[in-house]
């Protein structure tokens, strides 16, 4: 029988059936598990094994775990029926012999005892088209949230691994006549490819075209006609409108010629989406592009997190965490930027197209926190007239940040453990578990090991959280970052206040570098905002660098209002109160002249403050 375009040879190497992009036979049905079942030959006999799927696998209406396949067997996986038939059966006979209205034919298993055995789905084109469009939509949505070129490139490569399960993905650009790798991800297996086929990349650039090649195993030589089952495919796609010129590179093990063309077309479309995103990010030499060049990590609002080579471990951790989908625990003092690290991990992950929801576990009393996290059913308590979805529902498909996880009360810790174990939870008053697909990132400024020892935090929950962990260093341990951070924060403060550019004098910088920063980056930001206002000129001098005389309970700085003018007013009035109403003493505490203080007070009075 002629081979279908969707043919997959069944060999002694097991082939997986499921919803995952990496499956040899991919079925776009939400009732099908990501890796649902597999088929393979053993001593010439085709076998099927269910991979502990959620909804099971049925052969001839009987649920099975592992069994031999015979000609005529009907395999039901989700809403799909596959039929086992002889390799030499006439094509006209290849149709299911039974099945209800809820079952539709998605393909045939062309399976015999001979070595010519094949597995042939024949009607998946429409389903695959829908999946491809959904994949491209998710890519475009994620790229739209990126604030830097680096974020966009890492998001694309993560998308390639998630949707196409490639063994290697890279983004390369021609800089000063040299090809440079700007982002790269290798496969999940340690034996995966570690090198890039440079000739394919160069050919794509030279021709300004997509180049797909076969690589013979071991030799590294190009073998277009070699049908070896273990050969690898390499693909290079030019990025439209990229400046400098760029190429997306992908590599995978041979599967099928149809897969090759599928990869080719989908990656060409992805390259166009990426090209548009890079043009947007490069418009007018954006600040985020400058940040990326300077090795900054920022959130979507441009708020600074870290900069400089001393923070390379943080960048390395973010890169590793973004490629995985595991639970993350970030520790560190208040003000070190734990939430910004979490947001950056989300933006660079394959979940970037999904929601990012953050909640502070220490900001709610126990009764309200449980409702905030898990929601409630109608009638759960007095006043609960309708369904309320909690943040676990809201973050479904994306990332949930549980800030200050160490403050979660015991009852909430128990529920969190359930979610981490099986991604399900009960709403308040609910009788059925709610399934969610999300990633959890937790942060805390507490030492959870001490909390566990003191019986204040569940040991089993701690172990569940401690998959990928990182302790952010306080600002006092990285004084070399202060100049970079201060200059960036000065730019942001000037833009916010509508002021012209302001520079930092060497004396002012020395004062900043000598401070121990108990409030970390948050305190530095407040100090810079204050200095920008007090300077009233083009240069911030040492006298304008005023540290908070009244640290808050969290070791941070004075409470500030949303606007710089409000912050300035609050700071000055608190200093006057601390000085007992003595304006000369208040001016000394503020580090400004008494005349400057009196002028500021007059401005507040005239402005109604």
DSSP one-letter string for 454-499: TTSS-HHHHHHHTTEEEEPPPGGG-GGGHHHHHHHHHHHHHHHHTP
Cα–Cα distance for residue pair 559/353, rounded to 1 Å: 34
Q: For residue 514, count other CB atoms closer than 10 A to its CB.
A: 10
Please state the rounded mean pLDDT for residues 256-265. Answer: 65
pLDDT tens digits for range 35-73: 888 888 887 788 899 988 888 898 888 889 898 888 778
Q: What secondary structure letter does DSSP report for 21?
A: T
pLDDT band per the 50, 70, 90 thresholds, residue 290: very low
pLDDT band per the 50, 70, 90 thresholds, residue 402: very high
Output 148 or 218, whichever has higher pLDDT.
Answer: 148
pLDDT at residue 472 is higher than 80: yes
Contacts of 34 (CB under 8 A, 6+ apart): 18, 19, 20, 23
Q: What secondary structure letter does DSSP report for 273?
A: H
User: How is domain 8-122 classified at the CATH fold level?
Assistant: Tumour Suppressor Smad4 (2.60.200)
Asked if residues 559 and 570 have their Cβ atoms less than 8 Å apart, the reply is yes
Please state the rounded mean pLDDT for residues 222-245. Answer: 67
Q: What secondary structure letter does DSSP report for 222?
A: B
| Ramachandran class of 20: left when φ > 0, alpha when ψ lies in -120 to 50, beta otherwise | beta
Please state the rounded mean pLDDT for residues 105-114. Answer: 35
What is the structure's pLDDT at 439? Answer: 92
Q: Which range has the worst mean pLDDT, 154-163, 275-284, 461-470?
A: 275-284
Asked if residues 259 and 269 have their Cβ atoms less than 8 Å apart, the reply is no
Closest CA to 140 of 352, 438, 394: 352
Cα–Cα distance for residue pair 411/464, rounded to 1 Å: 16
pLDDT band per the 50, 70, 90 thresholds, residue 555: very low
φ, ψ (nearest 5 deg) of residue 515: -80, 150
What is the structure's pLDDT at 287? Answer: 37
**One fold for both 297-473 and 476-606?**
no
What is the structure's pLDDT at 94? Answer: 43
Cα–Cα distance for residue pair 378/542, rounded to 1 Å: 60
How much is the pTM? 0.46
Asked if residues 214 and 224 have their Cβ atoms less than 8 Å apart, the reply is yes
φ, ψ (nearest 5 deg) of residue 475: -65, -30
Give domain 297-473's CATH number out of 3.30.1390.10, 3.40.50.2300, 3.30.465.10, 3.40.50.300.
3.40.50.300
Asked if residues 197 and 215 have their Cβ atoms less than 8 Å apart, the reply is yes
Cα–Cα distance for residue pair 485/491, rounded to 1 Å: 10
Q: Which range has the worst mean pLDDT, 65-69, 168-172, 186-190, 593-597?
A: 186-190
Contacts of 223 (CB under 8 A, 6+ apart): 214, 215, 216, 231
What is the structure's pLDDT at 288? Answer: 37
Output 462 or 43, whichever has higher pLDDT.
Answer: 462
What is the structure's pLDDT at 329? Answer: 96
Asked if residues 300 and 189 have their Cβ atoms less than 8 Å apart, the reply is no
pLDDT tens digits for range 482-505: 888 888 888 878 877 777 778 889
Cα–Cα distance list, 148 to 202, 376, 481 (Å): 26, 39, 20
Domain ranges of the chain: 8-122, 128-284, 297-473, 476-606
Give domain 476-606's CATH number out of 3.40.50.1370, 3.40.50.720, 1.10.357.10, 1.10.8.60.
1.10.8.60
Please state the rounded mean pLDDT for residues 182-194. Answer: 62
Cα–Cα distance for residue pair 586/559, rounded to 1 Å: 18
Cα–Cα distance for residue pair 478/486, rounded to 1 Å: 13
Contacts of 163 (CB under 8 A, 6+ apart): 21, 135, 266
| Percent of all residues in the chain with a pLDDT value above 70, rounded to a whole number | 75
Cα–Cα distance for residue pair 541/539, rounded to 1 Å: 6
β-strand pairing of 356-360 with 375-376: unpaired
pLDDT tens digits for range 311-363: 778 888 888 898 888 899 999 988 888 988 998 898 888 888 788 998 888 77
Cα–Cα distance for residue pair 562/34, rounded to 1 Å: 46
Cα–Cα distance for residue pair 318/367, rounded to 1 Å: 34
Cα–Cα distance list, 20 to 25, 29, 131, 162 (Å): 9, 10, 11, 9
- The helix (H) or strand (E) run that includes residue 48 is strand 45-50
pLDDT at residue 99 is higher than 50: no
Burial (CB count <10 Å: 0-12, 13-18, 19+), residue 247: buried
What CATH number belongs to 128-284? 3.30.450.40
pLDDT tens digits for range 495-548: 777 777 788 898 999 999 888 888 888 888 889 988 888 887 678 988 889 887
pLDDT band per the 50, 70, 90 thresholds, residue 562: very low
Q: What secondary structure letter does DSSP report for 92?
A: G
Residue 429 CA neighbour count, 13 Å, CB half:
16
What is the structure's pLDDT at 295? Answer: 37
Kindly calculate the radius of gyration of the chain based on its CA atoms and give it in whole angstroms. Answer: 30
Cα–Cα distance for residue pair 479/235, rounded to 1 Å: 45
């Amino acid at each position: 029988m002629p081979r279908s375009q969707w043919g997959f040879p069944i060999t002694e190497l097991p082939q997986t059936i499921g919803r995952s992009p990496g499956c040899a036979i991919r079925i776009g049905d939400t009732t099908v598990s990501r890796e649902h079942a597999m088929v393979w030959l053993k001593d010439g006999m085709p076998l099927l094994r269910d991979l502990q799927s959620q909804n099971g696998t049925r052969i001839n209406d009987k649920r099975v775990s592992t069994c031999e396949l015979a000609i005529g067997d009907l395999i039901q996986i989700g809403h799909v029926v596959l039929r086992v038939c002889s390799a030499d059966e006439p094509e006209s006979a290849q149709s299911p012999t039974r099945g209800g209205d809820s079952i539709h034919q998605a393909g045939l298993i062309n399976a015999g005892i001979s070595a010519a055995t094949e597995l042939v789905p024949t009607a998946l084109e429409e389903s695959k088209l829908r999946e491809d469009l959904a994949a491209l939509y998710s890519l475009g949505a994620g790229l739209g949230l990126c604030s830097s070129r680096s974020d966009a490139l890492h998001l694309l490569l993560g998308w390639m691994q998630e949707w196409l399960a490639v063994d290697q993905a890279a983004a390369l650009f021609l800089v000063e006549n040299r090809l440079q790798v700007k982002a790269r991800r290798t496969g999940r297996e340690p034996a995966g490819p570690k090198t890039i086929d440079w000739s394919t990349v160069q050919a794509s650039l030279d021709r300004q075209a997509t180049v797909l090649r076969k690589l013979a195993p071991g030799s590294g030589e190009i073998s277009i006609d070699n049908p070896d089952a273990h050969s690898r495919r390499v693909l290079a796609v030019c990025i439209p409108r990229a400046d400098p010129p760029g190429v997306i590179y992908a590599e995978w093990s041979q599967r099928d010629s149809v897969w090759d063309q599928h990869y080719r077309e989908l990656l060409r479309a992805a390259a166009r989406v990426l090209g548009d995103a890079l043009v947007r990010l490069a418009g007018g030499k954006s600040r985020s592009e400058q940040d990326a060049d300077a090795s900054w990590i920022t959130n979507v609002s441009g708020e600074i997190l870290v900069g400089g080579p001393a923070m390379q471990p943080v960048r390395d951790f973010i890169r590793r965490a973004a490629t995985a989908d595991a639970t993350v625990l970030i520790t560190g003092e208040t003000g070190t930027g734990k939430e910004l690290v979490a947001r950056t991990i989300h933006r660079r992950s394959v979940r970037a197209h999904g929601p990012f929801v953050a909640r502070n576990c220490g900001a709610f009393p126990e009764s309200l926190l449980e409702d905030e996290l898990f929601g409630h059913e109608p009638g759960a308590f007095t006043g609960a007239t309708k369904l309320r979805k909690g943040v676990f529902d809201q973050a479904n498909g994306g990332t949930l940040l549980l800030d200050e996880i160490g403050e979660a009360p015991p009852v909430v810790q128990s529920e969190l453990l359930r979610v981490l174990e099986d991604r399900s939870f009960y709403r308040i008053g609910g009788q059925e578990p709610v399934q969610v697909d999300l990633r959890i990132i937790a942060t805390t400024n507490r030492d959870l090991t001490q909390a566990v020892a003191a019986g204040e935090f569940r040991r089993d929950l701690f172990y569940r959280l401690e998959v990928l962990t990182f302790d952010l260093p306080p600002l006092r341990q990285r004084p070399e970052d202060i100049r970079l951070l201060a200059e960036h924060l000065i730019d942001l403060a000037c833009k916010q206040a509508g002021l012209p550019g302001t520079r930092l004098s060497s004396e002012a910088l020395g004062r900043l570098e000598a401070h121990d920063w108990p409030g970390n980056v948050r305190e530095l930001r407040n100090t810079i905002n204050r200095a920008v206002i007090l300077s009233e000129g083009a240069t911030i001098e040492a006298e304008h660098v005023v540290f908070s005389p009244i640290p808050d309970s969290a070791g941070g700085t004075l409470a500030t209002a949303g606007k710089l003018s409000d912050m300035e007013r609050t700071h000055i009035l608190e200093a006057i109160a601390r000085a007992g109403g003595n304006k000369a003493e208040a001016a000394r505490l503020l580090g400004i002249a008494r005349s400057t203080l009196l002028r500021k007070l007059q401005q507040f009075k005239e402005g109604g403050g």
